[in-house]
Amino acid sequence: MTGDNPRPLVECRGLAKHYGEGETRVDALRTVDLDLWPGEVVGLLGPSGSGKTTLLNLIGCIVEPSAGTLRLDGETVWEGKWLRPDLRRLRLEKVGFIFQFHNLLPFLDVSENVALVLDMAGAATTDAFARAHELLDYLEVGHRKAAKPSSLSGGEAQRVAIARALANRPRIILADEPTAALDGERAGIVMDLLRKVAVEQSATVVVVTHDEKILGRFDRLFHLRDGRIEDMASRPGDLTG
């Protein structure tokens, strides 16, 4: 599973996050140790409020950790403070985020939403749109290229968001409930695509999910409870059995 790469893509050491102080302090995540390797697709499970989104946001450098160490692709990015000044560049190049609420830009049409991240990474306009259309076609939303996000169904918006997250061929792909709005067949297509990306780009894919349909498709599953990784199972069979 580790392939030829000797290092994990994501290394969390004692990673913790709390919001507020004193009376109002909420420990969203307590001392998480986690290594994620290139080529693997892992699932993150747990009840609501257990810290799944928080963990994704920490790995994606969207939220600043409170303690511990975070290393991405061998580079220490947080240890007491941010060690990289350009977190957005890091996100643009290394991290593909599939947000729970899609977060498409309402003033751009579907293909522009996808092409924008390529454009920002320095791609030529025609190349950016060609890649965007290719991804959208693959995800079966190519026919909605010119539509504004407000006119998309939940499932269509989700697939556009996935296309955007994959556009720059990131090595770390973080997905918050990516198949919640999709039917079983489409959820399967998305999981196939994520698997393909993990293998072809030797990327790591982390998926937060409640979706029973797809539990069998993960290499490893992590259970979160009260901000801690509770148990670890290499196969969902171990988990349920």
Partner 1 sequence: MNLALRDIRHHLGRFLLTAVGLGLLLGVVLSMIGIYRGLVADALGLVRAPAAEVWVVETGTRGPFAEGSRIPGDTRESIARLAGVTETGSMTFQSLEATHRDRKLRLQVVGYEPGRLGGPPAIAEGRGLARSRFEIVADVKTGLVVGERIPLGGDVFTVVGTTRGAVSSGGDPVVWMALRDSQVLQFRLSPAPARREAARGPVAAGAPDTINAVVARVAPGASVEAVVEAAKRWKHLAAMTQDDQETILTRSVVEKARQQIGLFTTVLLTVSTVIIALIIYTMTMDKIREIATLKLIGAPDGRIVGLIVQQALALGLIGFSVGASLIASAKDFFPRRVVMLPEDAASLGLVVIVVCLVASGLGVRLALRVDPATALGG
Ligand X SMILES: Nc1ncnc2c1ncn2[C@@H]1O[C@H](COP(=O)(O)OP(=O)(O)O)[C@@H](O)[C@H]1O
The residues of the shown chain that bind partner 1, judged by CB under 8 A, are: 53, 57, 62-63, 88-93, 95, 97, 99-101, 103-108, 112, 115-117, 119-121, 125, 128, 148, 164
Only one of the segments 45-53, 84-92, 134-142, 210-218 lies at the binding site for Mg ion (rule: CB under 5 A); that segment is: 45-53
Residue from 8, 30, 43, 52 binding ligand X (CB under 6 A):
52
Only one of the segments 47-55, 112-120, 131-139, 153-161 lies at the binding site for Mg ion (rule: CB under 5 A); that segment is: 47-55
Residue from 30, 38, 53, 187 binding ligand X (CB under 6 A):
53
Record the tokens describing residue 33, joined without a space.
């140790």
Minimum distance between the CB of residue 87 and ligand X, rounded to whole angstroms? 17
The answer to the question of residue 209 lying near Mg ion (CB under 5 A) is no
Only one of the segments 46-54, 63-71, 73-81, 215-223 lies at the binding site for Mg ion (rule: CB under 5 A); that segment is: 46-54
The answer to the question of residue 39 lying near ligand X (CB under 6 A) is no
* Positions in the binding site for ligand X (CB under 6 A): 19, 26, 28, 46, 48-54
